[in-house]
Amino acid sequence: MGSKSKSSILSVRLGPDLKEQWENYCAALGLAPSSAIKDAIKQQLKAAEALPTPKIYRQTENAKEATERFEILLTISEKAAVKARAQTERCSMRRWIVDAIRTGLTHEPQFGMSEIDALGESNYQLLALGRNLNQISRRLNEGHYEPFTVKRIKALSHIIDKHTDAVSDAIRASLERWSLK
């Protein structure tokens, strides 16, 4: 973060299955996996240039801004779908609709209660993990060299992976909530 130049390397974790599928696909095309990704990125950026750039709004800190009534008409099935989604998200229909509008305007996720719960639990666990790492660091700085076993390191790595997945799932759930089928 403190360096003046940015790395031009992009690292993507695919997992073993997806990586193998990607490598097989690229081999069938006679391309190196990195070249194929680079070509795909170029193609996406070129396609994006043709699209108009929508204005992205930013939420402000002025939470005391006056509200104004706005009515919308929904079909019976749309209203039922909104009601069902709001119940799933443990919020009111009004709150769900406002969150949908805010997401559309800001392109930022609006978390529902289940995501907030998951993120809160993840933060709690990550803070506990951070305390453990600080204790280990303090002991090492004091000259107490504790034996670090592969088992202990793997356990810490597992905890980090578990909570990274929880945060990713919460973010994905919040973003996917707005997709219509």
Could you tell me the pLDDT band of residue 93, with boundaries at 50, 70 and 90?
very high
CA atoms within 13 A on the CB side of 14: 13
Return mean pLDDT, the chain: 78
The ranges assigned to domains in the chain are 16-44, 76-176
pLDDT of 125 higher than 50: yes
Average pLDDT over residues 98-113: 77
Answer yes or no: is pLDDT of 174 > 80: no
Place of tokens 């696909």: 25
Token representation of residue 124? 């709690």
Q: Do 26 and 33 form a contact (C-beta atoms < 8 A)?
A: yes
Q: How far apart are CA 172 and CA 117, in angstroms?
A: 14
Residue 117's nearest CA partner among 51, 174, 56 is 174
Helix (H) or strand (E) holding 37: helix 33-49
Given a cut of 90, whether residue 28 has pLDDT beyond it is yes
List all residues 6 or more positions away from 119 whose beta carbon is below 8 Å from its beta carbon: 111, 166, 167, 170
CA 169 to chain centre: 7
| Beta carbons within 8 Å of 36's beta carbon, 6+ residues apart | 22, 25, 26, 29
Q: Band the pLDDT of 61: cuts 50, 70, 90.
A: low
Determine the pLDDT at residue 9.
82
Tell me: the pLDDT tens digits for 151-168? Answer: 677 777 788 888 777 777
* Separation between Cα atoms, residue 107 and residue 101, nearest integer Å: 10
